[in-house]
Amino acid sequence: MRKFSILIVLSILGSYFPVCKAQKNPEKVIKSIYNNSQHSDKSYEMLRRICKEAPGRLPGTHELEKAIELVKETLIQNGADSVWLIPVISSGWKEVKKPIVQLILGDDKYINLNAVSLGQSVSSAEKGIDAQVVMIDNKSQIDSLGEAGLKGKIVFFNLKMQERRDYGKMVWQRVQGSSLVAEYGAIGVIIRSLTTKYDDVPHTGVMRYADNTKQIPAVALSWQAADSFEINLQKNPDLKVHLEVFCDNPGLINTNNVVGEIKGSKYPNDIFLLTGHLDAWFNTEGANDDGGGVAQIIDVIRIFKELKIRPKHTIRIMPYIDEEQFNSGIVQYAASIADDKQTHLIEIEVDNGIGVPYGFSIQADSSVFTKQVKWRKLLEPYQIDMLRFSNSYAESWPLYQKNKIILGHLLCEDVHYFDYHHSANDVFESVDKTNLQSGSAALATFIYLLDKMDVIDNSKRKPEEIKAQMSR
Ligand SMILES: [Zn+2]
């Protein structure tokens, strides 16, 4: 009889404190993380609100400020121990009106092509530009054409992405194309969008004007518009184009990164940082890039709090601004923590779209991550055990460059990423809810294991890295 009542008491306690009991057993905690994540609509609802209430979240817009408020509110609702804003100074560039691109066929006949302004582009002269076109599909053509071939012309950069990996090889046509041809006297630039999607939706992205080079207007055409352009040019090499671009750059503006954290119970000054960018281009809801990433990192706090997982280290979540143009949100954060009393053990940046997650890339020597056999095994049942250690990209990333903080990424399936990227295709409806939730769970699991097993051994890092991190 006594035994029986003890059993009843134990089972009642068990149902009241399921996670406290499970916390000793990582398998059970991870199971509860996945269970919680897959039964919660909160990150999906958060994403819907960011996309529908605050599309086109560039610095200087009402939409970005609205998104900052939404994120702040959600972090508070999710139970973050503290939530605050970090002021950031950023660029207020904007597209005022959709550009006009017309192929002039003569006798008042023309074809309108669907285009979008490139980020940071200047406007055209008030009446626009009418000029002949030079098509370029290879960087070396620029120097061989020179001033004789380019002066007074509009240049059509026509490099075609065939697969996701082409982006890295071709992005120069958008970023540097204008300056490269302005040097030889070109007066405008039209590029084929950097996309893998054959449709009539143009994709924007940032461009840069080199110092001491004339700033000429630049736009991107949809894939289908670029095809039409190419065909018409082949029929008539003397074809003229009319180009009008309407942009404004009011200069610097003040805005904020948002931060929310759970204080570590044992090492409050040691931080695991999760980042995703809140800004999105003017022509998009920014669901995959990167509203979804923001929704996922915010959800990590909710999962930890709902499951009453008390981390030993501090978990800091930072949706930041202006990744798309100058990365000022991260750059200024990197500067602000330089003399900090705290140590950032790792930054995990979540900005690869919302595909099926399958692991993590980590920009560090593998030996820095101890007990790997033990904790990698725990990732296997959830198919997130692919770990890629390397140092190949971190050099250009502000928190690594300045503070030598290890950079990690959530890896997910991304073959269709450039169908959406920087375009009107990147809407809430394009995000798969299960993938979104699995990403939150993968992140929460990874952070839980790093925290629980004290995985990162900072003493095994390169001397200069340790110095940069330990200068407190
Ligand atoms: Zn992004």
Domain ranges for the chain, please list them: 20-92+252-470, 94-248
Give yes or no for residue 11 having a pLDDT over 50.
Answer: no
d(C-alpha 447, C-alpha 31), whole Å: 14
In CATH terms, the superfamily for domain 20-92+252-470 is Zn peptidases (3.40.630.10)
- % of the chain surpassing 90 pLDDT: 85
Inter-residue contact 170 to 159 (CB < 8 Å): yes
According to DSSP, residue 430 is labeled G
Ligand 1 center to residue 146 CA distance, Å? 35
Is the pLDDT at 17 greater than 60, yes or no?
no
CB atoms within 10 A of CB 344: 20
Would you state the pLDDT for residue 16?
43
Q: How far apart are CA 348 and CA 338, in angstroms?
A: 18
SS3 content of the chain, % helix, strand, coil (to 5): 40, 25, 35
Residues 186-218: tens digit of each pLDDT? 999 999 999 999 999 999 999 999 999 999 999
CB distance 103 to 239 below 8 Å: yes
**pLDDT at position 287 over 70:** yes
Distance 13 CA to ligand 1 centre (A): 45
Tell how far the Cα of 75 is from the centroid of ligand 1, in angstroms. 21
Cα of 245 vs centre of ligand 1, distance in Å, is 25
Peptide bond preceding 290 in cis form (omega within 30 of 0): yes
Query: Three-state DSSP class for 352?
Result: coil
Token digits of residue 326 = 């100058």
Tell me how far the alpha carbon of residue 137 lies from the centroid of ligand 1, in angstroms. Answer: 26
Q: Give distance in angstroms: CA of 46 to centre of ligand 1.
A: 18
- Please spell the DSSP secondary structure of 253-283, one letter per residue: EEEEEEEEEE--SSEEEEEEEEEEE----TT
Neighbours of ion ligand 1 (CB under 5 A): 289-290, 351
**What's the 4 CA to ligand 1 centre distance in angstroms?**
58
Per residue in 19-58, pLDDT (tens digit) is 555 457 999 999 999 999 999 999 999 999 999 999 999 9
Phi/psi class of residue 123: alpha, beta or left (left: φ > 0; alpha: ψ in -120 to 50)?
Answer: beta
Q: Which two tokens stand for residue 227?
A: 């095809």
State the distance from the centre of ligand 1 to the C-alpha of 239, rounded, in angstroms: 37
Q: What is the pLDDT of residue 458?
A: 82
Distance 64 CA to ligand 1 centre (A): 15
- Asked whether the beta carbons of 375 and 385 are under 8 A apart, the reply is no
Nearest Cα to Cα of residue 382 among 440, 430, 302, 432: 440
What's the number of CA atoms in the CB half-sphere (13 Å) around residue 403? Answer: 25
Report the separation in Å between the CA atom of 288 and the middle of ligand 1, taken as the mean of its atom positions: 8
Residue 395 pLDDT > 90: no
* Stretch 371-384: mean pLDDT: 96
Q: In what order do the strands lie in the sheet with 406-412?
A: 82-91, 252-262, 313-320, 267-277, 343-349, 406-412, 357-363, 386-389
Q: pTM of the prediction?
A: 0.92
Q: Which residues contact 155 (CB under 8 A, 6 or more apart)?
A: 133, 134, 135, 136, 177, 181, 186, 188, 189, 190
Distances (CA, A) of 91 to 176, 283, 325, 329: 19, 17, 8, 11
The whole-number pLDDT of residue 468 equals 67
With a cut of 70, say whether residue 382 has pLDDT above it: yes
Looking at residues 163-174, what average pLDDT do you find? 95
Length of the chain: 472
- If you measure from the C-alpha of residue 414 to the centroid of ligand 1, how many angstroms do you get, rounded to a whole number? 13
Round to whole Å and give the CA distance between 453 and 450: 6
What pLDDT shows up at residue 13?
47
Does 419 score more than 80 pLDDT? yes
Q: Is 166 exposed, middle or buried, given 0-12, 13-18 or 19+ CB atoms closer than 10 A?
A: middle
**Strands, E assignment, 107-139:** 109-113, 115-117, 129-136
Confidence of residue 396 (pLDDT cuts 50, 70, 90): confident
Asked whether 244 and 215 are in contact (CB, 8 A), the reply is: no
Q: Which amino acid is at 29?
A: V
- Predicted local confidence at residue 461, as pLDDT: 82
pLDDT tens figures, 295-322: 999 999 999 999 999 999 999 999 999 9
How close is the Cα of 323 to the center of ligand 1, in Å?
Answer: 7
> Residue 349 Cα, ligand 1 centroid: separation in angstroms?
10
- The domain defined by 94-248 folds into Glucose Oxidase; domain 1 (3.50.30)
Same fold yes or no, 20-92+252-470 and 94-248: no
pLDDT confidence of 393, banded at 50, 70, 90?
A: low
Mean pLDDT along residues 362-386: 94
| Mean pLDDT, the chain, whole residue set | 93
Query: So what's the pLDDT on residue 15?
Result: 43
Query: pLDDT value at position 422?
Result: 98
Distance 55 CA to ligand 1 centre (A): 14
Distance, CA of 201 to CA of 157 (rounded, Å): 17
Q: pLDDT of 66-81, one tens digit each?
A: 999 999 999 999 999 9
Residues whose CB falls within 8 Å of the CB of residue 59, separated by 6 or more in sequence, listed in order: 90, 91, 92, 253, 255, 279, 321, 322, 325, 328
Q: Does residue 123 contact residue 246 with C-beta atoms inside 8 Å?
A: yes
- Burial grade of 310 (CB within 10 A; 0-12, 13-18, 19 or more): middle
Q: Which of 55-64, 375-384, 390-399 has the lowest mean pLDDT?
A: 390-399
Which residues are paired to 244 by β-bridges? 100
Q: For tokens 């099926």, what's the residue?
A: 356
